[in-house]
Amino acid sequence: MSQGKIPYGRQTIDEDDIQAVVEVLRGDWLTTGPKVKQFEEDFSRFVEAPHAVAVSNGTAALHAAMHVLEIGQDDEVIVPAITFAATANAVVYCGASPVFADVCPQTLLVDPESVAKRITARTKAIIAVDYAGQPCDYAALRKLADEHGLRLVADACHALGATCHGKRVGSIADVSTFSFHPVKHIATGEGGMVTTADADLDRRLRIFRNHGITTDHSQREAAGAWHYEMVDLGFNYRLSDIQCALGVSQLRKLPAWLQRRREIASRYAQAFGESGDVRPLGIRPEVEHAWHLYVVRTLGPRDQIFADLRGAGLGVNVHYVPVHLHPYYRRTFGTGPGLCPVAEAAYQQILSLPMYPALTDADVDRVVTTVRSCASRSRAA
Ligand SMILES: *Cc1c(COP(=O)(O)O)cnc(C)c1O
């Protein structure tokens, strides 16, 4: 796609993915069938977490995590300022207040020192976001959580396949959440997963995704029983067998895709290195990065560079508007500029470059050349 447009991210769908979906369509179970169980088992094995619960999207995964940790009215949950709005929204769904922590200037990962300053008697949990695919400082966050009796949640929607001190993301926090939106590491159209080592949380997650009902349709069919009980207020957050079949097929290819993302990242790192007009973010020594995004900081005017790159057919993006600056949060929680100065300053400079496994070396070279020329031109201007 050398002269066409290059998006910042996109799914890879092969013939075997299509076949996997078609097989489900020809079978008996479109939802609550065997593919859901298979996807959960394969996923749980991959992230080395004892339990995995498939849900309808990554936001539902966060909502389910907040619910089973009993986050409610008057509670506070600390979230980083640099994340997708859904991280904070899930806290609000449960009637609680998100409290925004600032990020580290080098990595834009949540800063444990800022988290420590935000802890109050009302704080119940910390949601760590593995921004761009890099695991947070889980050792520091775990220490804070343990000292203050807080639950630690990982919004790992960027970090499927990443590790921290050799442990897979998904097996580090009390509860971890993933998304299978097409720009993420594997795609099911819409989809999500919650992982945990806690059998009781696993049981309650399954009830929550199924209206708060203790058995699902296939379990009742197996038991030949009509009776069911709704024990909690839940949602319909199930993922269909059609989507799970795609997930199973995609997950098989994830190791190769992670490898390709890492190759692309090292090409970018070589090209932009230390001294260019754009600078890659820092990488913590103890992590294996999953490279959902390749984020650089611009030294020249970001908006100009952004516009020039879009004009040249590169689908660059900005991740993210700091959540506390969104009108909803300003209006509802009284947040605004000055609350998280590191995040606010970084937001003026960041740019996400194209990053997905199907990018060819020629595509990467074109990105490098175009970014170099747009960035140096803007600096000269
Ligand atoms: C994608 C994403 C989500 C939400 O996932 P959906 O599947 O789109 O609902 C939540 N948090 C982060 C950090 C994400 O990148």
Asked if 176 and 153 count as a contact pair (C-beta separation under 8 A), the reply is: yes
Q: Which atom of ligand 1 is nearest to the CA of 184?
A: 1
Ligand 1 lined by 308 (C-beta under 6 Å): no
First-to-last CA distance in the chain? 31
**Ligand 1 atom 7 nearest Cα:** 58
pTM over 0.85, yes/no:
yes
Identify the pLDDT of residue 3.
Answer: 66
Which of 136, 178, 179 best tests ligand 1's pocket when mutated (most atoms within 8 Å of CB)? 179
Strand partners, 99: 78
Instruction: Evaluate the omega torsion of the peptide bond into residue 93 and state whether it is cis, within 30 degrees of 0.
Output: no
Identify the pLDDT of residue 2.
Answer: 44
Q: How far is the CA of 237 from the centre of ligand 1 (A)?
A: 15
Q: How far is the CA of 26 from the centre of ligand 1 (A)?
A: 31
**Ligand 1 atom 6 nearest Cα:** 58
**Ligand 1 atom 5 nearest Cα:** 58
Alpha helices for 192-340 (secondary structure H):
199-208, 217-223, 241-272, 302-311, 327-333
**Residue-wise burial string across 67-81, b where 16 or more C-beta atoms lie within 10 A, e elsewhere:** bbbebeeebbbbbbb
Q: How far is the CA of 180 from the centre of ligand 1 (A)?
A: 8
Identify the pLDDT of residue 224.
Answer: 75
- Report the phi/psi class of residue 108: left, alpha or beta, with left for phi > 0 and alpha for psi in -120 to 50: left
Mean pLDDT, 10 residues at a time, over the chain (381 residues)?
80 98 98 97 98 98 98 98 98 98 98 98 98 98 98 98 97 98 98 98 97 81 80 97 98 98 97 86 97 96 96 96 98 98 98 98 97 87 67
Active site residues per annotation: 184
102 DSSP assignment: P
Angle between helices 241-272 and 361-380 (to 10 degrees): 50
Alpha carbon distance 293, 265 (integer Å): 9
Alpha helices for 155-228 (secondary structure H):
199-208, 217-223
Alpha carbon distance 132, 8 (integer Å): 12
Ligand 1 lined by 129 (C-beta under 6 Å): yes
Identify the pLDDT of residue 1.
Answer: 41
Q: Which atom of ligand 1 is nearest to the CA of 59?
A: 9
DSSP string covering 306-363, please? HHHHHHTTB--B-----GGGSHHHHHHH---TTSSHHHHHHHTTEEEEP--TT--HHH
Q: How far is the CA of 181 from the centre of ligand 1 (A)?
A: 8
Ligand 1 lined by 352 (C-beta under 6 Å): no
Q: Sort 151 into a burial class: Cβ within 10 Å, 0-12 / 13-18 / 19+.
A: buried
Asked if 171 and 48 count as a contact pair (C-beta separation under 8 A), the reply is: yes
Triad 6, 9, 14: Cα angle to 5°: 95
